[in-house]
Chain A
Amino acid sequence: DSGVTQTPKHLITATGQRVTLRCSPRSGDLSVYWYQQSLDQGLQFLIQYYNGEERAKGNILERFSAQQFPDLHSELNLSSLELGDSALYFCASSQNLAGNEQFFGPGTRLTVL
């Protein structure tokens, strides 16, 4: 158990819908990272937050957004969902900005029908 929790575990929805994925980092970790893993594209870095502020952006679509709240939990919002958004979404946390040791959650499996 990494100490990072993600909810829900599974999510099934339809195209065009909007969903919110939630992540609680390990106690004391200030950085939160979001990743997408699909069969054809491997593990893709989406975005990083540090102590409430966006610090790095990867291959995140404009339809996706994230935020980190004062209690350090984070949410990833996915809107106008497409079939290709079906994937595993992982959240990770680390103590510092550099992310030298990231702890990953169990992931949320999103299925878009």
Chain B
Amino acid sequence: DAKTTQPNSMESNEEEPVHLPCNHSTISGTDYIHWYRQLPSQGPEYVIHGLTSNVNNRMASLAIAEDRKSSTLILHRATLRDAAVYYCIPTGNQFYFGTGTSLTVIP
């Protein structure tokens, strides 16, 4: 299983961009990289996933390193509602969520 490393916590000012890093140096060539987030007192919420190319959707962008050993989730303008725990999950981890990064958004 691919091991992931994420910072325990990060802070961002409201309306500024946020870059959430994830290292997954042992990822296999066929593993997708998924990002989920969990808002307080709620179930996890799918954010985005990708394989090799950078991906964009209405919630965020996912930048994947060329060697695929790391990826970065980009929130273009953080809002208070984005305060959550963000999980990076390679497919091969069979849905192992780990401890994620707790994002605090400062008004």
A33 near B95: Cβ-Cβ < 8 Å? yes
Question: Cβ of B87: which chain A residues have Cβ within 8 Å of it?
Answer: 43
B96 near A105: Cβ-Cβ < 8 Å? no
> A-side interface residues toward B, CB under 8 Å?
2, 33, 35, 42-45, 48, 56, 58, 90, 92, 98-107
> B-side interface residues toward A, CB under 8 Å?
32, 34, 36, 38, 42-46, 49, 87, 91, 94-99
Expressed in whole angstroms, the minimum distance between the Cβ of B87 and any Cβ of chain A is: 8
Judged by DSSP, the binding face of A is: strand
A2 near B43: Cβ-Cβ < 8 Å? yes
Which listed residue, A45, A100, A101, A102, touches B96 by the CB 8 Å rule?
A: A45
Expressed in whole angstroms, the minimum distance between the Cβ of A22 and any Cβ of chain B is: 15
In the complex formed, the residue of A with least CB distance to B49 is A100
Which 9 A-B pairs rank lowest in CB-CB distance, beginning with the nearest?
A104-B43, A43-B97, A45-B95, A101-B46, A104-B44, A90-B43, A107-B43, A100-B49, A42-B99
Bound form: Cα–Cα A105–B43 in Å: 6
Question: Cβ of B95: which chain A residues have Cβ within 8 Å of it?
Answer: 33, 35, 45, 48, 58, 99, 102
Judged by DSSP, the binding face of B is: loop
B94 near A56: Cβ-Cβ < 8 Å? yes
Which listed residue, B32, B42, B43, B99, touches A100 by the CB 8 Å rule?
A: B32
Bound form: Cα–Cα A99–B91 in Å: 8
Instruction: Given contact pairs A58-B96, A98-B32, enumerate 11 new A-B contacts (beta carbons under 8 Å).
Output: A43-B44, A45-B94, A90-B43, A100-B34, A100-B91, A101-B49, A103-B46, A104-B43, A104-B44, A106-B42, A106-B43
Which listed residue, B46, B94, B99, touches A102 by the CB 8 Å rule?
A: B46
Bound form: Cα–Cα A56–B98 in Å: 18
Expressed in whole angstroms, the minimum distance between the Cβ of A66 and any Cβ of chain B is: 15
Question: Cβ of A35: which chain B residues have Cβ within 8 Å of it?
Answer: 95, 97
Question: Cβ of A101: which chain B residues have Cβ within 8 Å of it?
Answer: 46, 49
